[in-house]
Amino acid sequence: MSPTRALVEASLLVSLAVVLFAASHYLPLVGLFVSLVCPAPLVVLGLRHDLKRALLGTFVATLLTAALLGVVTALFFLLGFGILGIGLGYLARRCKSGAEVMLYGLILSLVSKLALMAILLKITGVNPFGLDGASFKEAIDGVAKFYGTVGLPMEAIEGMKGQFEAMAEALPRIFPALLVMASAMDCFLSYVISGAVVRRLGGLRLPPLPSFAQWRFPRSVFWALLASMALQLLGPSLGSFAAEAGLNLRLIVSMLFFFQGLSVVWFFLTSRKMAAAFRFLAVFLLVFVPFLSQLVLVLGVVDIWYDLRNRRRR
């Protein structure tokens, strides 16, 4: 690619990224879906151009965003979309498997979010991801009042308020796990949507991810589960930090086991050629019915050791 053509293409990709981000900022509802496409131009930038030009393009896009929407919003663009976008593109050129790209992309997404939190905390003095207890209590009271108007028994309303208040108290303790999960989801959605965009452009491809029916995690995840349980049991003697570390580790590992169990279910449903509507209904129930979710998690633990899908093929 000639230098002139490379410069023009990089400029177009940078401009498109800024326009998409501005649209996601100003358009209600639709903006949420537009924001999912925001990293795609930057992924293409990182995929088609060297790292130096990609970083320079992202810096220019950040300056344009600051001029249009302000410095704080530009920080959200840079650390929420920019670094992850060019990072995924660069990793896609260097890594052979999509799983490897996702692993490094997760780390990049997590570091970007931590950096964003630290910078905004320094600028504003307020934790942008912190939970406002007064606002949360006001929201709980509003929901309780609504349910009271539709005739829900007072005992049920009080029980619901107690559950919400307990959740509000637990949120700061499990925030690290929630941040890791949010980073993983952000990275996954950016990779999948950007991959679809790149395929439409032609001539470029991101390393494919395994199909959901083939998702498996290493057995070391099981030992991480045991470590999390040990930290929670020994928490009183080791200190509150160890107990909270165990709690967050257990939440993350449990989520991995849940997805592995769900992958096993999806494999058997697809291998029996079940209708797509039935498969999605089954997944919906497995996700939102607590008892079934626990069974799926146990299934994931069993599959770690016995590889149920491989036994089915035999």
The residues spanned by each domain of the chain are 3-124, 133-170, 211-313
pLDDT of residue 313: 59
Task: Please write the tens of the pLDDT for every residue from 244-290.
Answer: 888 899 999 999 999 999 999 999 999 888 888 899 999 999 988 88
pLDDT (average), residues 98-108: 90
Which range scores top for mean pLDDT: 104-113, 140-149, 160-169?
104-113
* 38 backbone dihedrals φ, ψ, rounded to 5°: -50, -45
pLDDT > 70? residue 140: no
Task: Please write the tens of the pLDDT for every residue from 77-95.
Answer: 998 889 999 999 999 988 8
d(CA 160, CA 292): 22
d(CA 156, CA 111): 42
Model confidence band, residue 136 (pLDDT cutoffs 50, 70, 90): low
Model confidence band, residue 104 (pLDDT cutoffs 50, 70, 90): very high
- For the chain, state the CA radius of gyration: 23
% of the chain exceeding 90 in pLDDT: 23
Structure pTM?
0.81
d(CA 253, CA 259): 10
The residue written with tokens 């795609």 in the block is 40
Task: Please write the tens of the pLDDT for every residue from 15-32.
Answer: 888 998 888 888 877 777
CB 18 within 8 A of CB 61: yes
Element (H, E) at 206: none
First to last CA, the chain: 50
pLDDT (average), residues 67-86: 89
Task: Please write the tens of the pLDDT for every residue from 155-171.
Answer: 766 776 677 667 667 77
pLDDT of residue 235: 73
- C-alpha dihedral over 82, 83, 85, 90, to 10 degrees? 140
Model confidence band, residue 105 (pLDDT cutoffs 50, 70, 90): very high
Residue 65: C-alpha distances to residues 18, 20, 34, 69, 311 (Å): 6, 11, 16, 6, 53
pLDDT of residue 27: 80
